[in-house]
Every structure is written in C-alpha cells, then in structure tokens.
Amino acid sequence: MQPQRPRNLVLALLAATLLLSSCSQPIREQLKEFGFSEIQPPSTLLPPGTVIMVKQQDPLVVGIICTAQNAFGAEIANKLVKSASTTSMKSSSLEGSFDLAADYVKSVSGSVQGSSVESIGVTMANVALNELPDDAVMSGVKSRTPECRDAIKLRRANGAQVSMVKSVVAADVTYMIRYRGSVDAAIRADMTKQVAARLGLSGAAASESSVTGKHLYWGIRDDMALAAYEGVGLPATGTISRARLIEPGKPVLVVAD
C-alpha cells in the first residue's frame, strides 16, 4: 500500500499541475492523478459530509440521501479543514488552462439550438482542498437527524451502497466556449447562455463566449467506512467491501431529488 500524501502536499501538487497543464489535458485526468473524480457539472451540491448513494452506474449518477448539516449537525461546515492555494490562475490566451473532455462537451452543447461549439476551455483560480476530518464525523454523528438516519436505513434496506463525501476540490472558474467558424456575436451570446445553463450556471456572469462561476466543487473523494459509522462502536471488520464508492477519475453526475 502506498503511503498517503499529506493534504497540503496534495493541494500544492494539484495546483501546480493545473497551472502547468496545457489545453489538451482534460481536468478529469488531472483530478484522477490525485484520487478525485470529476463532478459534472461542477456545483456546490456535495460539500464534505454529504451522505450519498449511486442511483445509476453508466453514466455514474449520484443521489443525495442527507445533506451534511442533517448528517452531522449545523456546525459541520466550521469543522472542515481547508487548504488554500496561494497561486491564482490568470486567463491569458488560455495559459494555465485546460479543456473539458470531448464527451462532456458534446453532452453539454449537443442540445443547444444552432450549436457550433468546438471545445470548452477552463481556467481555474483560488483552488482549495476542503476535507472533513475523521474525528469531526465521529463527534458530529450524534447530531444526525432522525429523518437522516431513517433515510440511510431505508436506502440500505433496498440494497443501495451508501457513502459520504470526504473531501472536495473547490475553485473559481471561467469557461471559454470556442465556436467553429464565424458566428454572429448575438447568436454566440445566446448559445453561450444555453451552454451556461447546461453547466448549472444560469445566473452566472457571462459574455458572448465565456461564463464565470465562484467556489464550485470540481473534484470529489468519498469514504464508505466513515459513512458506515453510526456512533455506537465501530463497523465490524470486513463489513465494508471497499474504501470508496466512486472510482477515481470516473465522471460523476449529481441528482438532487
């Protein structure tokens, strides 16, 4: 078993990798290198402490069983350990940027009326790693609401595999939408708004070919063992078949219902 990289080192390496990446390097592969999976689209729906389940395997769709507050108490956000990067990325001819994977660009732009989207570049700033420590889970589980406990029991009784968001990669982002050929500015602006909506950024600041989002969760890492802890003793050895529900590098779609 390889030793775990310290949190600060992981963040530093991740930030450096993002800074030095070329436009041909999808974010998916970079996140995979550090044990994270890409959230599509990036959002704020899955902060550390959120209890989740897999609703569909291909593509991988994750559903929310309990919010972090209902699972571990109203103060759980104050217990996060946050490692901030001191380096911000500057958008200059997409330097320090990268592309979204081609299959994701197709899914985002395919239903856009009159779409001639060629690719979507991303520039990130204020990269941070937010993680929920183990002891915060063990103390916070005492504050779990009865409804959350019942929801977890119901899902497990129906055969669902349950996990918990352990850590996320958060960042501000600017998407640069590149269009094929010559597209009228007004049409380009309308298509950009449609793409922004598909990226979950309907109300975000947008121009005719770019859109910006703040403090979005791009990467996720989960922990099935911590999700199994209920505050009374510890899960029996061998009851957790694997450490993680979500395979590193596999794109994750989030459904909140």
For the stretch 44-71, pLDDT in tens is: 899 999 999 988 877 889 999 999 999 9
State residue 87's pLDDT score.
36
Task: Judge whether 2 lies within some domain.
Answer: no
State residue 199's pLDDT score.
86
Q: How many angstroms separate the CA atoms of 239 and 1, rounded?
A: 20
CA 76 → CA 46, 122, 151, 218, 234, distances in Å? Answer: 13, 31, 19, 20, 21
Task: Judge whether 232 lies within some domain.
Answer: yes
State residue 96's pLDDT score.
47
3-state secondary structure (DSSP) of residue 211: strand
Cβ pair 244, 163 in contact under 8 A: yes
- Please name the residue that has the structure tokens 């998407």: 175
Task: Judge whether 109 lies within some domain.
Answer: yes
Q: How many angstroms separate the CA atoms of 19 and 73, rounded?
A: 36
State residue 90's pLDDT score.
27
Count of beta carbons in the 10 Å neighbourhood of residue 93: 8
State residue 71's pLDDT score.
97
Amino acid at 122: V
| Dihedrals phi, psi of 226, to nearest 5 degrees | -65, -35
| Dihedrals phi, psi of 251, to nearest 5 degrees | -60, 140
| Dihedrals phi, psi of 164, to nearest 5 degrees | -140, 140
Sites in the chain below the pLDDT cut of 70:
1-25, 84-96, 111, 113-115, 232-242, 256-257
State residue 238's pLDDT score.
52
State residue 250's pLDDT score.
85
State residue 125's pLDDT score.
80
State residue 223's pLDDT score.
94
Number of domains in the chain: 1
Q: Domain range for residue 195?
A: 7-255
Q: How many angstroms separate the CA atoms of 192 and 154, rounded?
A: 41
Amino acid at 123: T
Task: Judge whether 198 lies within some domain.
Answer: yes
Task: Judge whether 1 lies within some domain.
Answer: no
Q: Cis link prior to 41 (omega < 30° from 0)?
A: yes
State residue 136's pLDDT score.
96
